[in-house]
């Protein structure tokens, strides 16, 4: 007897009571959940569901209704990152459908990447028939064991009467609380099973729903607000430290309202970029390992740190005891209780939904007519921005990557969706691009997955067909998923792909130069024979150009941006260009290396990290 909870809708689902296959039920639930695109690669164990997608879209055409396109990548990893790009750019749940065995294992990396960055995604995997599970059947993989350790949740559907409710519950778990990827492993015979479609119903997950109910009904009361404002009232140099949780919870508007109302400046993490308009007068930009020098010095100077949707990770707080070293108090607002006091001890915390919490604090402050004077602090920050501004060798005869990104930014004005791979180009884009609003910055943060940029840009373009989408990539990173160039042209997507080519693993080479006496073990690509332009042309790019003269940069980038369809640009950049500032692993902000063109507050001696330090 099934313990599925049936929750009939007031008017009932129009298809309730109809007999259909499990595969058709999957497809119908996807449609009911508002899915507008599916990303995936077919195979034997998922064929029934792919057939259901085909039949659904055929029916939609006959009815004159919108289809749900199925975007087929070069491989399943690309499909996972496309679904993640779709989710990151919209806030909606991305959907990836793959076959069993290698199809499922190829999605492990995007699933883990999405878990690490709190991205809502549902991955539906085909599986061998129930009777064959555990027999090492053709293309069988232990998906629950593999995915269970990297996903927010994993379902293996062995009771077909629970399939419909399981898919709905997967969406619920993916989007609620701290978002994340949910994997549903569906045996082929369950897809082929026929039963009655209920049109409603979810699985009983009482513990999870109880926690979510507590979060949704949690309200920041006046006593908590009073304690917060007592600390804020004693501060002379308050600072908001905003992370990816602000983006994920759609809290950017209340965050900006709160910051503006009380004049509190804001620094953001890599994942928090866009939480506040980067051109806002209170924006102090990105902090951390490759944050701006003035942002990191701001953190050092602050006397009250307000962490919002951020988690004090090692890229920000390399030495937790010395992070925000002058802060007398720290406040922390987050959706996830596990993050509070995990790395850094705080004096005030709130666990709940960020938009409502920020609105409650704002309302309390206004009621109490809280009107601080932080003019001296603002003057100090303006001076920090002036003295320690981002800069580079502007007189070099070689093309500097910073110049290229400045030109892209000049033309796009902070309104484009920018996706990146992982490496130096990722950090240059974070440092030199503007973002006027959330969900314009798509990058792999916690996992740092090379090959993320191109498929993520494709997913974002599918989700935002009228928006300019640019993948800023590196020559090594794009190689990881270069097969997706063909996906761009197959679907005639106007994605713009720029490859900053420094003939190697630039970030690895930078570390080798600093900490391994310049031994470029396995990181130099100068002898490789890859011709990116011919590759792009072979994949159907009508615009594929190599830029190797500095004087051509403005003209060529304008042509590239304005080209009406898919466009590919390879830029031969200075091979020795580095990412600065840089806070080495296990170092604090007073040990930040600023390079040759950005001043430093301190005399810094570059030392090799300890053997146990992470990359």
> Which DSSP string do the residues of 199-250 spell out, in sequence order?
S--B---HHHHHHHHHHHH----HHHHHHHHHHHHH-SSEEEEE-HHHHHTT
| Rounded Cα–Cα distance for residues 142 and 76 (Å) | 17
Please give the backbone phi and psi of residue 32, each rounded to the nearest 5 degrees, phi first: -65, -30
| Rounded Cα–Cα distance for residues 90 and 437 (Å) | 12
Radius of gyration, CA atoms only, the chain: 25
Q: What are the residue numbers of the active site?
A: 76, 138-139, 188, 507
From the number of C-beta atoms within 10 Å of its C-beta (0-12, 13-18, 19+), residue 11 rates as: exposed
Report whether pLDDT(6) > 70: no
What is the structure's pLDDT at 615? 57
| Rounded Cα–Cα distance for residues 468 and 482 (Å) | 20
pLDDT tens digits for range 449-481: 999 999 999 999 999 999 999 999 999 999 999
CA torsion angle 41 44 49 51 (round to 10): 90
Name which of 520, 547, 301, 191 is nearest 403 in CA terms: 547
User: How many other C-beta atoms lie within 10 A of the C-beta of residue 491?
Assistant: 15
Can you give the pTM of this predicted structure? 0.95
DSSP one-letter code for 5: B
pLDDT classification of 12: cutoffs 50, 70, 90 = confident
**Can you list the domains of the chain with their CATH numbers?**
19-215 (3.40.50.970), 218-387 (3.40.50.1220), 401-572 (3.40.50.970)
Q: Which two tokens stand for residue 424?
A: 């130096």
| Rounded Cα–Cα distance for residues 561 and 567 (Å) | 8
Q: Please state at what angle helix 76-90 crosses helix 108-116, rounded to 10 degrees.
A: 20
| Rounded Cα–Cα distance for residues 509 and 511 (Å) | 5
Q: Which two tokens stand for residue 353?
A: 């939904």
Asked if 97 and 40 count as a contact pair (C-beta separation under 8 A), the reply is yes
Residue indicated by tokens 């002058």: 326
pLDDT tens digits for range 215-228: 999 999 999 999 99
Please give the backbone phi and psi of residue 417, each rounded to the nearest 5 degrees, phi first: -85, 125
Report whether pLDDT(346) > 60: yes
Name which of 423, 98, 141, 372 is nearest 262 in CA terms: 372
Q: Which two tokens stand for residue 142?
A: 């232990």
Asked if 33 and 184 count as a contact pair (C-beta separation under 8 A), the reply is no
The DSSP bridge pattern shows strands 19-21 and 194-196 to be antiparallel
Report whether pLDDT(40) > 70: yes
pLDDT tens digits for range 436-446: 999 999 999 99
């Amino acid at each position: 007897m099934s313990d599925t909870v049936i929750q009939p809708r007031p008017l009932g689902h129009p298809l309730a009571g109809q007999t259909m296959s499990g595969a058709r039920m999957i497809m119908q639930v996807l449609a009911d959940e508002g899915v507008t695109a599916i990303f995936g690669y077919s195979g034997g164990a998922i064929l029934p569901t792919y057939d259901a997608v085909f039949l659904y879209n055929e029916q939609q055409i006959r009815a004159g209704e919108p289809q749900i396109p199925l975007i087929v990548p070069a491989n399943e990893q690309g499909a996972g990152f496309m679904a993640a790009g779709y989710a990151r750019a919209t806030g909606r749940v991305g959907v990836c459908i793959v076959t069993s065995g290698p199809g499922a294992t190829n999605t492990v990396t995007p699933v883990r990447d999405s878990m690490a960055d709190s991205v809502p995604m549902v991955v539906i995997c085909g599986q061998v028939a129930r009777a064959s599970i555990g027999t090492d059947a053709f293309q069988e993989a232990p998906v629950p064991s593999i995915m269970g350790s990297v996903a927010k949740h994993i379902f293996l559907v062995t009771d077909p009467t629970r399939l419909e409710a399981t898919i709905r519950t997967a969406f619920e778990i993916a989007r609620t609380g701290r978002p994340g990827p949910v994997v549903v492993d569906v045996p082929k015979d369950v897809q082929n099973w026929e039963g009655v479609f209920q049109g409603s119903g979810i699985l009983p997950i009482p513990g999870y729903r109880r926690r979510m109910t507590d979060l949704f009904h949690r309200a920041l009361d006046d006593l908590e607000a009073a304690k917060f404002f007592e600390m804020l009232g004693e501060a002379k140099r308050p600072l908001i430290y905003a992370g990816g949780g602000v983006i994920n919870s759609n809290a950017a508007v209340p965050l900006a309202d709160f910051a503006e109302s009380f004049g509190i400046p804001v620094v953001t993490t890599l994942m928090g970029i866009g939480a506040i308009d980067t051109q806002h007068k209170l924006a102090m930009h990105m902090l951390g390992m490759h944050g701006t020098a003035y942002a990191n010095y701001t953190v050092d100077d602050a006397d009250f740190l307000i962490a919002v949707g951020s988690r004090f990770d090692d890229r920000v707080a390399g030495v937790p005891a010395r992070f925000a070293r002058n802060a007398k108090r720290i406040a922390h607002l987050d959706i996830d209780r596990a993050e509070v006091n995990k790395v850094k001890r705080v004096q005030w915390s709130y666990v709940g939904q960020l938009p409502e919490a920020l609105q409650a604090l704002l309302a309390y402050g206004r009621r109490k007519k809280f009107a601080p004077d932080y003019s001296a602090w603002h003057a100090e920050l303006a001076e920090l921005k002036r003295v320690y501004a981002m800069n580079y060798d502007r007189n070099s005869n070689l093309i500097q990557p910073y110049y290229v990104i400045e030109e892209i930014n000049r033309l796009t004005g902070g309104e484009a969706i920018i996706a990146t791979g992982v490496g130096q180009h990722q950090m240059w884009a974070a440092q030199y691009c503007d973002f006027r609003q959330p969900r314009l910055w798509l990058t792999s943060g916690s996992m740092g997955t090379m090959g993320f940029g191109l498929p993520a840009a494709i997913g974002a373009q599918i989700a935002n067909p009228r928006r300019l989408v640019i993948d800023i990539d590196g020559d090594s990173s794009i190689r990881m998923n270069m097969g997706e160039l063909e996906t761009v042209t197959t679907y005639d997507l106007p994605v713009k792909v720029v490859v900053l080519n420094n003939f190697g693993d630039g970030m690895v080479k930078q570390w080798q130069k600093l900490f391994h006496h310049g031994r470029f073990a396995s990181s130099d690509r100068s002898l490789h024979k890859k011709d990116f332009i011919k590759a792009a042309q072979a994949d159907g790019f009508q615009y594929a150009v190599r830029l190797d003269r500095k004087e051509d940069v403005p003209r060529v980038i304008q042509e590239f941006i304005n080209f009406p369809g898919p466009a590919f640009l390879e830029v031969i950049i200075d091979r020795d260009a580095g990412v600065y500032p840089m806070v080495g692993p296990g170092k604090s902000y007073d040990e930040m290396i600023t390079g040759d063109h950005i001043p430093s507050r301190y005399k810094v001696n570059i030392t090799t990290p300890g053997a146990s330090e992470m990359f």
